[in-house]
């Protein structure tokens, strides 16, 4: 293997050190980002390379914890290479750092769907200071923080209170959740008609493209929710980035959604809690709630109400989660009917049926 350029080591930190690989074709960007990392505590730059081939060669021989990947690279671009980078990383978390990740950019949702854990807009070389350094530090802290011990996994398929029938699937997710969601949705057959509600922590400007991605993955129409939108069989509905979903009964029968913009106890906008709590109120034991990868505790209160109503709550397991905050909070509270990886969650959901 060729000698890797731009290598850095942190000899001044006695605690656990997270190893970072930088993949960026700009010499200036590599140097500036490496200097930012070196100024932090608990990180070291394992290598800084200029293209995908060098990154894969390095990962074939070395382990890292986080990979900072640019999209615009010579030869193979970062988005095309992302699945190979993830595989070669052997569990390393990929943070896409690119000027291509502008607010609402399609490439951002594509990268997250392919398995990147997060994205960060890279400013031009003349302004890579201040806010960018703070954002990079915050994201690295989040991606390298130690999680709490997991409870004993419950890998059995859950049994629903109403046999194998339910009326609504409500899914909550945040960091790392889009990739997990893609695995769940791909398992659903075209005949699956139970309505699906999704609250994913994303800005409002990302939602139209995210809805298009979900429609492809789930093989069914997907809408960004509007106020008073009816909940219909065979469709998926997303919480908009600026409002929570709340289920409500219709006088003529059926159910619809109201949009709430009041602050949630979790501090998240949109929040998973109102969606799950209202689903439990309207659909009771025929509610299937799913909690995927994400930071914090959003959804824990709503999941408790689903469990209290006799519904079923499935959470993503710790091993497959980028951050086991949201699913872990539900599991530690004792409200998880099962703890499973996304592929198995998808199979469990696909095996259910809507009552006639």
pLDDT digits (tens, 9 = 90+) for 98-118: 988 875 578 889 999 999 999
Please tell me the class of the 18-144 domain: alpha beta
CB 132: neighbour CB atoms within 10 A?
A: 18
pLDDT of residue 106: 84
Q: Which of 51, 70, 118, 298 is catalytic?
A: 298
* Residue 227 a catalytic site member: no
> Do 18-144 and 168-351 have matching folds?
yes
pLDDT digits (tens, 9 = 90+) for 207-234: 999 999 999 999 999 999 999 999 999 9
260, β-bridge pairs: 244
- Is the model's pLDDT at 125 over the cut of 50? yes
Q: How far apart are CA 31 and CA 126, in angstroms?
A: 13
* Residue 102 a catalytic site member: no
Q: How far apart are CA 204 and CA 242, in angstroms?
A: 6
- Is the model's pLDDT at 262 over the cut of 80? yes
pLDDT digits (tens, 9 = 90+) for 42-95: 889 999 999 999 999 999 999 999 999 999 999 999 999 999 999 999 999 999
b/e map 235-260, b = 16+ CB within 10 Å: bbbbbbbebbbbbeeeeeeebbbbbb
Q: Which of 50, 51, 98, 174 is catalytic?
A: 174
| 168-351 topology per CATH | Rossmann fold (3.40.50)
pLDDT of residue 17: 86
pLDDT of residue 194: 95
Instruction: Name the pLDDT band for 355 (thresholds 50, 70, 90).
Output: very low
Q: Are strands 255-260 and 244-249 parallel, antiparallel or unpaired?
A: antiparallel
Which distant-in-sequence residues (6+ apart) come within 8 Å of 338 by Cβ? 154, 155, 156, 157, 158, 314, 315, 348
Q: How far apart are CA 117 and CA 96, in angstroms?
A: 8
* Residue 228 a catalytic site member: no
pTM of the full predicted structure? 0.86
DSSP codes joined into one string, 111-152: HHHHT-SEEEE---GGG-STHHHHHHHHHHHHHHPPPPPPPP
- Is the model's pLDDT at 200 over the cut of 70? yes
- The average confidence (pLDDT) of the chain is 88
- Is the model's pLDDT at 170 over the cut of 90? yes
Tell me the domain boundaries of the chain. Answer: 18-144, 168-351
């Amino acid at each position: 293997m060729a000698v890797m350029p731009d290598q850095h080591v942190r000899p001044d930190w006695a605690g656990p050190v997270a190893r970072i690989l930088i993949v960026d074709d700009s010499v200036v960007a590599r140097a500036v980002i490496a200097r930012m990392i070196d100024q932090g505590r608990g990180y070291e730059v394992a290598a800084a390379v200029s293209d995908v081939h060098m990154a894969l060669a390095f990962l074939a021989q070395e382990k890292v914890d986080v990979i900072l990947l640019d999209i615009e690279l010579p030869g193979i671009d970062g988005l095309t290479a992302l699945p190979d980078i993830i595989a070669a990383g052997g569990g390393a978390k990929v943070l896409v750092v690119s000027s291509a990740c502008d607010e609402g950019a399609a490439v951002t949702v594509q990268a997250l769907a392919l398995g990147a854990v997060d994205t960060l807009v890279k400013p031009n070389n003349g302004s890579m200071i201040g806010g960018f350094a703070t954002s990079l530090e915050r994201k690295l802290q989040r991606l390298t923080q130690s999680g709490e011990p997991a409870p004993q996994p419950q890998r059995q398929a859950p049994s629903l209170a109403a046999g194998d029938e339910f009326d609504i699937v409500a899914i909550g997710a945040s960091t790392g959740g889009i990739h997990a969601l893609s695995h769940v949705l791909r398992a659903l057959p075209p005949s699956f008609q139970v309505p699906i509600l999704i609250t994913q922590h994303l800005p409002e400007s990302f939602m139209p493209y995210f809805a298009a991605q979900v429609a492809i993955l789930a093989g069914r129409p997907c809408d960004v929710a509007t106020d008073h939108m009816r909940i219909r069989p065979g469709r998926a509905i997303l919480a908009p980035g600026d409002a929570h979903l709340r289920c409500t009964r219709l006088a003529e029968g059926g159910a619809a959604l109201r949009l709430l913009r009041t602050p949630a106890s979790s501090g998240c906008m949109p929040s998973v809690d109102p969606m799950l709590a209202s689903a439990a109120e309207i659909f009771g034991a025929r509610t299937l709630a799913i909690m995927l990868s994400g930071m914090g505790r959003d959804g824990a209160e709503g999941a408790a109400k689903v469990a209290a109503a006799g519904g079923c709550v499935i959470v993503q397991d710790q091993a497959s989660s980028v951050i086991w905050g949201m699913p872990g909070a539900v599991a530690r509270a004792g409200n998880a009917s099962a703890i499973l990886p996304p592929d198995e969650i998808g199979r469990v959901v696909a095996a259910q049926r809507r009552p006639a």
